Amino acid sequence: MTEQQPEDAFEDAFDDAFDDAPEEAPQDAPEGAPEDAPEESPREATGHPAVDEVLRSLDALRDAPVDEHVAVFESAHEQLRRTLQGAGDDES
């Protein structure tokens, strides 16, 4: 009796796992797809104007091309970092 190599056993298990997989993905979009999603309700204020402004800036990403997201996230991160740095400065 010959022993099966671990690599061969893995490949066989992998192949067996996908034997019943459909050949093609369905063409219809699933229910609840992003384009069918209802508009979100207005965001609840955090009580901190700078944070609220950052959150509003992120709402614009919904319609922006993905390649523009990084710049918006970097700006949001910088604004939040500055806000946290100054937290407590106004308190005496």
Q: Does the residue 26 lie in any domain?
A: no
Write down the pTM of the prediction: 0.49
pLDDT in tens, 75-90: 999 999 999 998 877 6
Asked whether residue 16 is assigned to any structural domain, the reply reads: no
Q: Is residue 31 part of a domain?
A: no
**Helix, strand, coil in percent for the chain, rounding step 5:** 55, 0, 45
Residue-wise pLDDT tens digits, 35-87: 555 566 677 888 899 999 999 999 989 989 999 999 999 999 999 999 999 88
What is the number of helices (H) and of strands (E) in the chain?
A: 3, 0
DSSP 31: T
75: containing domain = 44-87
